[in-house]
A and B are shown apart, each in its own frame.
Chain A
Amino acid sequence: MPSALPDGEPVPADGALPASALAGAADRPLGFYLHVPYCATRCGYCDFNTYTATELRGTGGVLASRDNYADTLTDEIRLARKVLGDDPREVRTVFVGGGTPTLLAAGDLVRMLQAIRDEFGLAPDAEITTEANPESVDPAYLATLREGGFNRISFGMQSAEQHVLKILDRTHTPGRPEACVAEARAAGFDHVNLDLIYGTPGESDDDWRASLDAALGAGPDHVSAYALIVEEGTQLARRIRRGEVPMTDDDVHADRYLIAEETLSAAGFDWYEVSNWATSDAGRCLHNELYWRGADWWGAGPGAHSHVGGVRWWNVKHPGAYAGALAAGKSPGAGREILTDEDRRVERILLELRLREGVPLSLLRETGLTASRRALSEGLLQEAPYGEGRAVLTLRGRLLADAVVRDLVD
C-alpha cells in the first residue's frame, strides 16, 4: 500500500461504524487483509509502509516488535469482532501482505489466521493467501503454512534477470522464485502466483520476455505484471533524478505490456484485471476481486485500509503508534471517509472498468454514456459486451484505462 494516508475525518476511539455500514452486510462477502510491516532491507523502488528495524517503540513505551507482532495483530482482529458485532458472516478470503510476511515465523502467520478463525470462522472454500519472499521460505516453512490453512501463495519474483533485480535492490538469486513454485506445489498449495515488474530502467524487451518465460516455466496458475511506478521519495526516484539510472518512458511500458499479454495468453493465461492473469477462474485472486467489486474487507495492521459498507478507514502508519493504540484498548484508525452514493458510483467505475467483466453501462450518466460511445468508436471498448450493456476494455483500452475512466465518470 502507498505510504501516504489520505485526509479524512477521525475514527471513533472504539472504532464503531455507523449503522448504515452494516446494513445488508450479510449479502456481501467479507475478507481480511493482514499487513506485516517488516522487511529485511528496503528496496529502492518501494514506498510501502514497511520498516527494517526489528523493534519499534510506540506511544506510552509500547514496544512493537516482530516477535510479538502476531499478538498485536490478533488484538485488532478481536477489535474487529467487537465493531462488527453480531455480523454473522464467515470470512471468505484472507490475504497476508507486506512488507515481508515471511520475515515472521510461519507459526506467527498461522496464529494470526487462527485468530480470524476463532473470532469469525472461515468459509469452507475460503482463499487464504500470503505473500512470500523467495529467499525467506523453505519446504518446512511452506509446509507449516499449508498445514495452518494457507492455500495460496504469492512470490515476489519481479524479474529473471540479475541486472534488473539489482536496480530493484531485490536480493534473491535468479531461479530461486521458480524453485519456490515447485516447493509450494510440493507442500500442497493449490494456487501459486508470481509477481513480475516490467519497465525497470535498463531492462530490455528481451529481458522482459526472458522473465515471462522463466515465470511460465515454473508453472504458476496466476501471474501479476506491474509497470514499475517510480514513487516520489524512493531511493530509485532520487537515482533517476540524479541521472544515475534512466527513466523508462510510457511507450516502453506499453510495448512491455503488449509483450506480457501476448506471451501469457499464448501460455493459456487470461487477463481478468489490467495487471493480473490466471489460467482459470479458480486461479483468480478472490481477495483482490473483493477490492475491485466494492465488497467488505477489514485491513489489520499499521497503515492498512478497510472498507465496510461504504465506510473506508485506515490505520495509523507507524507500528509503534499502532501497537500503542491497541494496547490502550483503542481503535488504531487514523481517519476515515464515509462514501457518498456518487463516490461509490465513481469508485465502481474506476475499479470495475479494470476487470474483464467491465462496468455495467447502467452506472453511467448521459455524458458518460456519450463518452463511452466515443471510446467504443475509438476502439477502446469491446463491441460485443457493449451491445449487452457493459463497457469492457479492449487491449488498447486497458493501456488507457485511466483516460477512459476520466470520461466515463462524467
Chain B
Amino acid sequence: MPAIPSHVPEPSRTDPALIRNFCIIAHIDHGKSTLADRMLQLTGVVEQRQMRAQYLDRMDIERERGITIKSQAVRLPWAPSHDEGNTHILNMIDTPGHVDFTYEVSRSLAACEGTILLVDAAQGIEAQTLANLYLAMENDLTIIPVLNKIDLPAAQPEKFSEELANLVGCDPDDVLKVSAKTGLGVDALLDKVVAEVPAPVGVKDAPARAMIFDSVYDSYRGVVTYVRVIDGQLNKRERIRMMSTGATHELLEIGTNSPEMLSADGLGVGEVGYLITGVKDVRQSKVGDTVTSQHKGAEEALGGYKDPRPMVFSGLYPLDGSDYPLLREALDKLQLNDAALVYEPETSAALGFGFRVGFLGLLHLDVIRERLEREFGLDLIATAPNVIYRVVMEDGTEVEVTNPSEFPEGKINEVYEPVVRATILAPTEFIGAIMELCQTRRGTLLGMDYLSEDRVEIRYTLPLAEIVFDFFDQLKSKTRGYASLDYEPTGEQTSSLVKVDILLHGDKVDAFSAITHRDQAYAYGVRLVAKLKELIPRQAFEVPVQAAIGSRVIARETIRAIRKDVLAKCYGGDISRKRKLLEKQKEGKKRMKMVGSVEVPQEAFIAVLSSDDSAGSGKGKK
C-alpha cells in the first residue's frame, strides 16, 4: 500500500489539472460499495480501525438492502505510482444504482469526466448497468471497464472481458481485473483513473456556476447540497443564488467530504464539495439546479435541469384512522430529503383519509413505504400502484387521472397511458419466455442484440402500467433470476383502456377500482371477485361481489348470508366472559371498514392490495 501522500492540495486552491472527477457504474451487488470502501482505505481518508462495510451508505435501509439510494461525493488524495511526486485529487461520486433514480444518476454523471464501469466477473453486465453505461457515453465520459470479484471461483474474466470490450469498444486486455473484497488491483485502478480520466476544464475567472448533483436533509445542519463547480469559484460566507428559482441564501458553510464533512475556504473550478445554507427543505436546493454568486452572478444556467416527475402513484392510508396526522407529518419529513416525493390528501370511501403519493418508480415506493412504517411506526394500507392516464373526452376536455377511481364516466374519446422503453438482458435460452411475457404485457419488440454468444439484450416498448404490476417478479421467475431489467419513459400512447369497478352489495369500493386494458379486464375482475369472496366474512345478508365496466357486470360471486351467530349457552358463569367477548368484538368491528352496509376486514384490503400479484417489483432486487 502506498504511503499517505504529502502535500495534499487544499480545496479552493487545487489546480484543476490535478483533479479527477469520476463515478462508479455498477449493478446492485456487483461490489460498488465495497470498492468505494477499499478506495477510502487505500487513500488513507478512513483509518483502518474506523472502517465499516459500506461506509458511505447512510440509511439503514441502504445498508440492509445493499443498495445505494442517495449519492455522495468523497475527496480522495492519490499519488499515482507513475507520478508519485504529484498528489492528485480524486472526487468519487457515488451514484444511485436503480432505474427509479435515473435522473439523479444523470446529474451525477454530469458532474464527472470519467466513470468506472464495474461488472461482476461471475455474472456479466446487467440491464441497469448497461442503461447507465449508455447514459455515461451520451455524457462523453471516459469509461474504465473493470471486472470485480475475480477471486470468486465462478468468475469468468475472459468471457466477460470480451463482453465489456465489445460494449465499450476497447481491447479485452484493457479491462482491469480487481477484487474489491481483497483490495487486489484497486491501486492500479486508482492509477488508471488519474491516467485516463480527463482533468476538468472550466473558466477560472468567469462568474461562479456549480451544478447540484445531490441534496440531502440532515436534521442537525439542514439541507446539505452537493455541487460540482464548473466555472469560477464559490467562497465561504458569500451569498449564493439558485438559478431555477432566483432564491438567494447565505453560504453558512462550504467544504469537502473526506468522507466526513470538512469545511473549507471555498471551491474552485472542477472541485466537488458541499454547501450549507440553512434551508430546511431539499426542494429549495434541487438536483440539477445551478448555483451562482448573488453578486455578479452568472446569467445563464447550466443545462439539463429537470423537475422530478412522479411516474407511479399509490394511495397510502393509515390502518388506524387516528394516525392520519402522523402520516402527514411523516411525509412532510421525508419530503425534506426527497424532492421527488409528491403527495396530496385523498379520501377513500373504503379506506378513509389518506394520501395519493407519487413516486419515481417502484423501488422508490417501496423505500418510502418501508421508511414510513419503520421510522415512523405507521401501519399502512397501500393501494395497488398505478400510473398517470390522460383522458380526452369527446367534447375535447382533458382529465389527468392519478387515481383509478377518478377515471371519468362520460363519453371518452381517447385514453393515453405512459410507455417505457424496456431493456432486458438475459441468457439466450430465455428469449422465448421473455418475449412471451412482454407480448402478454402489450409490448412491442424494438430489437434484439447479442452481447456475447449466450447473452442477449432485448428491447421492448411497454406500457408503464404493465411494469408497475408484477412484471419484474414474473421476469425473474421466468428466467430463474437471470434476467435484468431497465426502463426509461419514452412518452405515451393511446390504448383501449377501461376502468373496472368492484361492487360489494351494489356499492363501489373505490380502493379496488383499476384501469386495465379491455382485454385484461375480465381476468382482473374474475380474480379480484374470487379473492374477495374468500376474504370477506359472511354477513347477515347475502352479499353479491361484482366486477363491472361502467354498468356492465363482467364477473360475479356471492357471499352467502351467515345463518348462525349465537352462542348456545349463556348461564351465570358465562355472563362476564360473554360481556368481555362482546367488548372485544366491538373493538374488532371498529377495525372493520364499512363499505355501504358490508363490513370488510382490513386484512381483506391488505391482502387484495398488497398480494403477490400486485406487489412492487423493487423487493425482488437484491
Contact = CB atoms under 8 A, between A and B. Distances in A.
A2 B574 contact: yes
A120 interface: no
Given A1-B574, A351-B575, A401 B565 contact: yes
B576 A275 contact: no
Nearest to B583: A346
B506 to A, nearest CB: 16
Contacts of B565: 250, 399-403
B409 to A, nearest CB: 31
Contact of B564 (A257, A299, A343): A257
Point out which of A307, A400, A409 has the most chain B C-beta atoms below 10 A from its C-beta.
Answer: A400
A400 B573 contact: no
B32 to A, nearest CB: 52
A291 B575 CA distance: 9
A274 interface: yes
B577 A350 contact: no
A378 interface: yes
B541 A378 contact: yes
B412 interface: no
A310 interface: no
Interface in A152-202: none
Contact of A229 (B568, B571, B579): B568
B567 A299 contact: no
A354 B589 CA distance: 21
Nearest to B563: A254
A254 B572 contact: no
B566 A400 contact: yes
B580 interface: yes
Nearest to A305: B573
A388 interface: no
B582 A1 contact: no
A392 B585 CA distance: 22
Interface in B124-174: none
A2 B577 contact: yes
A305 B568 contact: no
Contact of A402 (B567, B571, B575): B567
Contacts of A306: 572
Point out which of A4, A6, A314, A337 has the most chain B C-beta atoms below 10 A from its C-beta.
Answer: A6
A347 B577 CA distance: 11
B296 interface: no
Nearest to B589: A406
Contacts of A354: 570
A244 B47 CA distance: 67
Contacts of B562: 250, 400, 403
B586 interface: yes
A346 B582 contact: yes
A402 B566 contact: yes
A7 to B, nearest CB: 8
A254 B577 CA distance: 24
A251 B563 CA distance: 6
B568 A227 contact: yes
A400 to B, nearest CB: 5
Given A229-B568, A399-B563, A406-B582, A6 B589 contact: no
A79 to B, nearest CB: 18
B578 interface: yes
Contacts of B580: 6
B571 A400 contact: no
Contacts of A380: 540
Nearest to A35: B573
Given A378-B540, A403-B540, A307 B572 contact: yes
A6 B563 CA distance: 29
Nearest to B567: A402
A37 interface: no
A405 B582 contact: yes
Nearest to B571: A291
Contacts of B589: 406
Nearest to B541: A378
A406 B540 contact: no
Looking at chain A, what size class is its interface with the partner chain?
35 or more
A6 B576 contact: yes
Contacts of A146: none
Contacts of A229: 567-569
Interface residues of B, number: 25
A4 B581 CA distance: 13
B290 to A, nearest CB: 62
A231 to B, nearest CB: 11
Contact of A299 (B540, B572, B578, B582): B572
A36 interface: no
B571 A288 contact: yes
A2 B574 CA distance: 7
A69 interface: no
B573 A406 contact: no
Given A402-B566, A403-B540, A406-B586, A299 B573 contact: yes
Contacts of A401: 565-566
Interface in A290-324: 291-292, 297, 299, 303-307, 312, 314
A112 B549 CA distance: 74
Interface in A53-76: none
Nearest to B581: A402
Interface string A385-410: 00000000000001111110110010
Interface in A310-368: 312, 314, 337, 343, 346-347, 350-351, 354
B608 to A, nearest CB: 24
Interface in B553-569: 562-569
A347 B579 contact: yes
A226 B562 CA distance: 19
Contacts of B569: 226, 229, 275
A305 B577 CA distance: 11
Contacts of A150: none
A253 interface: yes
A337 B401 CA distance: 57
B69 to A, nearest CB: 47
A33 interface: yes
B576 A305 contact: yes
Given A378-B540, A406-B589, A409-B582, A398 B566 contact: yes
A292 B570 contact: yes
A291 B567 contact: no
A253 B589 CA distance: 24
A337 B564 contact: no
A299 B568 CA distance: 21
A379 to B, nearest CB: 10
B564 A254 contact: yes
B540 A343 contact: no
Nearest to A198: B568
B573 A303 contact: yes
A403 B599 CA distance: 12
B566 A399 contact: yes
A403 B586 CA distance: 10
B572 A399 contact: no
A292 B572 CA distance: 8
Interface in B59-108: none
Given A250-B562, A291-B575, 20 more contacts: A1-B572, A1-B573, A2-B573, A4-B577, A6-B576, A8-B576, A226-B568, A227-B564, A251-B563, A251-B564, A254-B564, A288-B571, A297-B572, A305-B572, A346-B582, A347-B579, A402-B566, A403-B565, A406-B586, A409-B582
Q: Please give me the 10 A-B residue pairs with the lowest Cβ-Cβ distance, nearest first.
A: A1-B573, A254-B563, A226-B568, A401-B566, A254-B564, A305-B573, A250-B564, A227-B568, A403-B565, A6-B576
16 contacts: A2-B577, A4-B577, A229-B569, A250-B562, A304-B572, A305-B572, A305-B575, A314-B573, A346-B579, A346-B582, A350-B578, A350-B579, A378-B541, A398-B566, A406-B582, A409-B582
Interface of A: 1-2, 4, 6, 8, 33, 226-227, 229, 250-251, 253-254, 257, 274-275, 288, 291-292, 297, 299, 303-307, 312, 314, 337, 343, 346-347, 350-351, 354, 378, 380, 398-403, 405-406, 409
